[in-house]
Amino acid sequence: MFVSSSENDHDAINYLSSGQLSGLVIAFTLALNKVYEQKALDILLIDDPVQTMDEINVASFVELLRNDFNHKQIILSTHEEDISKYIRYKFSKYNLVTKRINVKDKLYKAE
């Protein structure tokens, strides 16, 4: 999928950092979602997309979601409380509804 040419062995996996690869995969996935949007559900499920991103890429990712996917329900998991707060802050500034669910708290309360 990410091979630059069939005539050489250079590919993205060997030349990009883990953060760059994460960004590439997210960009590719979101682009596919845009192309097939008519047939897709109005939901995005994303598991810890920012764990290998630096701050500027996190900010860009949040702006992309807020601007280009604001009509979708987004379920995003992360282990980083600061990132969760940042995303909720950015969305709420534009009157987009957010909700935080701490799964760990929910599981321990159920016992």
Beta bridge partners of 76: 46
Total number of domains constituting the chain: 1
What average pLDDT does the segment 9-16 reach? 72
Q: Which residues contact 106 (CB under 8 A, 6 or more apart)?
A: none
The tens digit of pLDDT for each residue in 68-88 reads: 998 899 999 998 899 999 999
The tens digit of pLDDT for each residue in 13-28 reads: 778 888 888 888 899 9
Q: What's the pLDDT score for residue 6?
A: 62
Q: What's the pLDDT score for residue 5?
A: 61
Q: For residue 79, tell me if it sits in a domain.
A: yes
Question: Which residue range is the domain that position 103 belongs to?
Answer: 39-110
What average pLDDT does the segment 50-57 reach? 88
Q: For residue 34, tell me if it sits in a domain.
A: no
Q: For residue 22, tell me if it sits in a domain.
A: no
3-state helix, strand, coil in the chain (%, to 5): 55, 10, 35
Q: For residue 14, tell me if it sits in a domain.
A: no
